A and B are shown apart, each in its own frame.
Chain A
Amino acid sequence: MKLTPVITEHWDDPELYTLNGYKSHGGYEALAKALKSDPDSIIATVKDSGLRGRGGAGFPTGLKWSFVPQNDGKPHYLVVNADESEPGACKDIPIMMANPHALLEGVIISSFAIRANHAFIYIRGEVPAAIRKVAFAVKQAREAGLIGKNIQGSGFDLEVTVHAGAGAYICGEETALLDSLEGYRGQPRLKPPFPAVAGLYASPTVINNVETIANIPYIVDRGVEWFRQFGTEKSPGFKVFAVSGHVQRPGIYEAPLGITMRELLDFAGGMRPGAEVKFWLPGGSSVPMLTADHLDLPLTYEAMVEAGSMLGTGTPMIFDQTVSVVKAVTRWLEFYKHESCGKCTPCREGTYWITGVLEKFEHGHGTSSEMETLTTLCGQIAGRSFCALGDAAATPYPAAIKYFSDEFTAATHTSADDQFDPLASYVFSGARA
């Protein structure tokens, strides 16, 4: 399968981030087209395209939009979830850095479709460079009359607000994001009501991922048929894959959904010299790990689920034989413990407990009965926590034990660092010296 750069097509143009740069490649032509059509027809187009959310859950975008009640007399909001914080995920931030106007054009078209007159872009606060790029794009768009009152004479008004997060992974959870955006401490909200009915300021709200929204101009411009030529029936379109780990050329590879990990690996120059795939995660630390046996599976939502994992954010992390699974899982759990918001018991207490036990294993002090305990503890979190953060925290260990139970058994007497030289796993050349 070939790479199909769409969102990333002109990233070699250093001026792409500017309005003129973007326009020189046909930017904002989709908007002109959209503003002449009926909002409902745009929703229908997106629905027909089969575009699925690129934030991790893969929920059909058009369907999400269609949940927004129309003619309800309430203001509607579009919120872009740009709080990319998932360990291993790095695709939204590059999109915002390189091609912010694709996001913005998507924002304007999407807002027009769902009848929102105010859109918010909630960007992870730790990446000021991305915030600056998007804010600059918004400024240019406003000056060019692409945002504001009566956009291009269409009668459609839109205000766009760029908001910086304050450093909490939980605020990537859409309802916690809304709380945070409203000025409260970010914790997930009880559903129902769902955001489509009562979201931001208790009004109908659509929350979409950056990449999802950046797809919109291309779908509107080039049509459903064009979009559906990529990918599979259930996973149509293309995906900005961000490949990281022990590969020769980690980076962004935009390819049709359904490409295999092996093909992506080839694009990334293969594993580093002398390395072989030990385990890999299709999309962030919140999805179960897979092994070399799974390299030929198509990277689609459905195939990944069938293999016992998930496509997630579509940002594969590849680990070679130098990496201790025990240590990797411990690091992830430390992350979830640190980021657990504290609202619900299973996540708050479970991550605290599991992390403590995993740290024992890392130092070679685990016991075989604790391996059993860890399995049951993960079971006590999965499906019982308030939001998906708990589910995510309960993911790494069961997957790891499925393929690498020997390493945990070894960790009952030998520390992770004694099993695997930590310096060997470093990806930076010369780290050893």
Chain B
Amino acid sequence: MTVTNHTEKTDHVNVVIDGIEMEVPKGTLVIRAAEQIGIEIPRFCDHPLLTPVAACRACLIEIDGVPKPQPACAQVLSEGMNVRTQRSSEMARIAQEGVMEFLLVNHPLDCPVCDKGGECPLQNQAMTVGRAESRFEGEKRTFPKPINVNAQVLLDRERCVSCARCTRFAEEIAGDASLELLERGAQQQVGTANDEPFESYFSGNVVQICPVGALTSASYRFRSRPFDLVSVPTTCEHCASGCSLRTDYRRGTVTRRLAWDDPEVNEEWSCDKGRFAFAYLANGRIDSPLIRENGELRSASWPEAMHFAAAGLAAAGTSAVLVGGRATIEDAYAYSKFARVVLGTDNLDFRARASSTEEAEFLAAHIAGTTLDVTYADVETASQVLLVGFEPEDESPILFLRLRKGVKKGVTVHTVGPLYSLGSEKLSAHWIKANAGSEAQAIKGLDSEVISALDSNSIIFVGERAASSPGALSAVSQLGAKTGARIAWVPRRAGERGALEAGALAGLLPGGRPISDPTARTEIAQAWNIDADSLPAVGVTGNELISAIAQGSINALITAGVDPSDLPNGSELTAGIENADFVVALENHHSEITQRASVVFPVAVVTEKSGSFMNWEGRNKPFSAAFREALTLTDAGVLSMLASAMDVQLNGDTRALRKEMNSLQPWSGSRTELKPHADSVPVGTTLATWRLLIDSSVMQEGEPHLAATARPSLVAVSSAMFEQLGKPEVITVTGPKGSITLPAQVAEVSSESVWLPMNSPESHIYAQLGCGYGEVVTVKGGAA
């Protein structure tokens, strides 16, 4: 049998493994080549995404002409090499058996109480290549157990086989090199310096790649046996990275989530939020429709609530739809269509956060309808990467990991912003200082060196915070045009990119079609089987939309996944909702809005529905319901029923919606241009802030171990400002609404900015300060 790879032959070598002739690319390791032909060589320390260490010696194989067995995980195949694995070599078989016997010397036989039991590489490989009975009669090494390497990750040292996967992951992949092997000989153990916690947003990965039960998570430890779990693939709903995850559940309860293998996106990693933040799926759910009667919400049947909602919406005047970031692309499409077809309005926005008209124009001009223009793979081969208003480690952690991989391959990262963060440091980024709100000037004033380095193989990543910095997006657009660098937009929430594509933004129909364009209107009208003239005229977005609600010019509203506390003008929205004629909320948890809504419909969470999230690349990541028996309705399902109560037929089936949307090709006509927007130069100290990955967000509730791994809430200032403030222990930052006092931290902060976490314990910017990113605040040393 000959297995041939039909690619360029010059870079290949001919080898034989267990008598099978192969042609493999130069540099291929024996263990990888053997996998290609279905030969499984035992391994513990080997991991395809980590550098080889050849420490465990489980993969020893024989090479003709080499007297000693060699580790397959580190042995590069060379021309003519004849490899014999345990299948055809007695030497290899005996060597592997010997190593396996040694591995079990100090490993406790506690499989019946070990979390890994049933899915344990050590257990499995001991059964396949080990001896039936151990000859070891001595005393096993023991350790006090378990110890916390951080609040979420626990370590049972006696189970460790010293494979160094966790330590290599920490150093090579996450860049959080505080996890190390300590001591020596049989006392060698994983640990951290001075028992400080292993601080990493990616710590859960070490639990997953541990080939034994040494590393476990506090949230899953002793919860279940792997063979009692049902596993389903899913897509992470926490951010726009679009990670493939696996959800494991038992008797209708999710017990854990794991990173799943998706080489194009998350490879085999996930962040701790994606892995551990799932308690919200079950806790505190709204379980039936609610209608407001005499000022109080009461439970209602679905038909009653539907008629109530239909009548209310029909009676109201001008309406609007606000779709938050949790919507699947199918649900967002349903909102987009419902607004235009049923409500006859284009007052529509998916940005339940700080936003701007400039951003809406930027999205229409550059992003909508351009899928997979920039991909994860591009990040590894880019020449330069420029980050604008974007903190990848907090806002798209998997993109952060890919950027790190790129940096290792020679990509240069520049970051424009007010803080040189820990994440910037881990990317060895070049800092282009900009006070919060003054990013546009910084971009326009880029060094000629940076500008000349930017080329068509460069990528500019823009985060959602760029919307809070006037002129920044216009400057990015101009920079892209000038240098040829491609522009990618990385929103924070999982649903935003899809919602944009689905046309859940005033002025934009699905596929990036301008609602003002007659051809676009015709195309959509045909797909929707309506008269093009019946499509509404351009509506309002963002702050204008919220003002219109507050002023009462919009008096009916449908909201979904919107929390006013996420908006800088959240109190304006809340007040507007209070006074609106009719508000329909589709939610799975209560919020400021449900407390004021006229009618509340409960909707399905990700485990209960199928759908897709479109990630920042514009890649569609479909997933199926974990709990097929769930009776909850998707947002689209509720909208379909509501439409029908309003005498309009709207298909609410996810698959049908996906099919309909897919039939619409991306817009190829002319795009609305991004008009140049003026910069502003704020006078005074400006507020720099963003949401930390692990913070006080609603979807992280109910997971105390995860919360305990959050970074502390601090006020970061430059050393100059720290001196100026008199080196205080705490710093008080004051905005229009009030103050926040937190411990001071000296960091690399631009001179006229002060940094605080946006929504962390003791630091809720909008609620406490009443202003947002880039706005002027006062700073003083000491308490308020």
Contacts and interface: CB of A to CB of B under 8 A. Distances in A.
**Mutual binders A and B:** yes
Interface of A: 168, 170, 185, 190, 337-346, 348-353, 356-357, 373, 376, 379-380, 383-386
Interface stretch (B52-60, B207-215, B604-612, B684-692): B52-60
Contacts of B141: 352
Nearest to B53: A190
Contact of A353 (B53, B136, B162, B183): B136
A340 B106 CA distance: 15
Interface stretch (B96-104, B553-561, B706-714, B721-729): B96-104
B67 interface: yes
Interface stretch (B185-193, B307-315, B429-437, B749-757): B185-193
A349 B98 contact: no
A339 B184 CA distance: 7
A166 to B, nearest CB: 12
A302 B139 CA distance: 42
Interface centre among A351, A384, A385 (most CB of B within 10 A): A384
B138 A356 contact: yes
A170 B184 CA distance: 10
Contact of B185 (A340, A346, A379): A340
B184 A340 contact: yes
29 contacts: A185-B180, A185-B181, A337-B186, A339-B185, A341-B188, A342-B162, A342-B185, A342-B188, A343-B53, A343-B55, A343-B162, A344-B56, A345-B55, A345-B99, A346-B57, A348-B185, A348-B186, A348-B188, A351-B185, A352-B106, A352-B186, A353-B138, A373-B135, A383-B69, A384-B69, A384-B95, A384-B98, A384-B99, A385-B57
Given A341-B184, A344-B55, A380 B139 contact: no
B185 A338 contact: yes
Contacts of B184: 168, 170, 339-342
Given A341-B184, A352-B186, A386 B55 contact: yes
Given A185-B181, A348-B185, A380-B95, 17 more contacts: A190-B52, A190-B53, A337-B185, A339-B184, A340-B184, A340-B186, A341-B184, A342-B183, A344-B54, A344-B56, A344-B57, A346-B57, A351-B186, A352-B106, A356-B139, A357-B138, A373-B135
A356 B137 CA distance: 9
Contacts of A352: 105-106, 141, 185-186
Interface in B492-517: none
A4 to B, nearest CB: 36
Please give me the 6 A-B residue pairs with the lowest Cβ-Cβ distance, nearest first: A342-B188, A380-B98, A349-B102, A356-B138, A383-B68, A340-B185
A190 B74 contact: yes
Interface in B467-519: none
Identify whether the interface residues of A are mostly helix, strand, loop, or mixed: helix
Contacts of B99: 345-346, 380, 384
Interface of B: 52-58, 60, 67-69, 74, 95, 98-99, 101-103, 105-106, 135-136, 138-139, 141, 161-162, 180-181, 183-188
A215 to B, nearest CB: 30
Given A342-B181, A348-B162, A384 B138 contact: no
Contacts of A170: 184
Contacts of A383: 67-69
Contact of A342 (B103, B138, B187): B187
Contacts of A339: 184-185
A377 B141 CA distance: 18
A365 B270 CA distance: 53
A350 B55 CA distance: 14
A167 to B, nearest CB: 11
**Max count, chain A CB within 10 A of own CB: residue among B101, B103, B184:** B184
B567 to A, nearest CB: 49
A356 B181 CA distance: 24
**Residue picked from A352, A357, A383, A386, most chain B C-beta under 10 Å:** A352
A386 B69 contact: no
A384 B106 contact: no
Contacts of A357: 138
Nearest to B67: A383
A329 to B, nearest CB: 17
B101 A380 contact: yes
A185 B185 CA distance: 13
Nearest to A390: B57
B interface secondary structure, majority = loop
A168 B183 CA distance: 11
Contact of A346 (B102, B180, B181, B183): B102
B51 to A, nearest CB: 9
A348 B187 CA distance: 9
Contacts of B74: 190
Identify which of B181, B183, B185 gathers the most chain A CB atoms within 10 Å of its CB.
Answer: B185
A379 B162 CA distance: 22
Contacts of B69: 383-384
Contacts of B136: 353
Contact of A384 (B68, B135, B180, B186): B68
Contacts of A344: 54-57
Contacts of B54: 190, 344, 386
B142 to A, nearest CB: 13
B96 to A, nearest CB: 10
A168 B68 CA distance: 27
A387 to B, nearest CB: 11
A341 B68 CA distance: 21
A339 B186 CA distance: 10
Contacts of B98: 346, 376, 379-380, 384
B102 A341 contact: no
A349 B106 CA distance: 7
A373 B133 CA distance: 13
Contacts of B56: 344-345
Contacts of A353: 102, 105, 136, 138
A300 to B, nearest CB: 23
Contact of B186 (A168, A342, A376, A386): A342
Contacts of A384: 57, 60, 68-69, 95, 98-99
A353 B53 CA distance: 23
A341 B185 contact: yes
B107 to A, nearest CB: 9
Contact of B57 (A338, A345, A379): A345
Nearest to A383: B68
Contacts of A386: 54-55, 57
Contacts of A346: 57, 98-99, 102
B102 A380 contact: yes
A381 to B, nearest CB: 8
Contacts of A340: 184-186
Nearest to B96: A384
Contacts of B95: 380, 384
Given A342-B184, A384-B68, A350 B52 contact: no
A386 B32 CA distance: 21
A338 B98 CA distance: 21
Most buried by B among A339, A340, A379, A380: A380
A160 B55 CA distance: 33
Nearest to A379: B98
Contacts of A343: 53, 55, 162, 188
A339 B139 CA distance: 19
A349 B103 contact: yes
B38 to A, nearest CB: 25
Contacts of A190: 52-54, 74
A216 B381 CA distance: 49
Residue of A344, A348, A376 ringed by the most chain B CB atoms within 10 A: A348
A380 B99 CA distance: 7
A345 B186 contact: no
A43 to B, nearest CB: 28
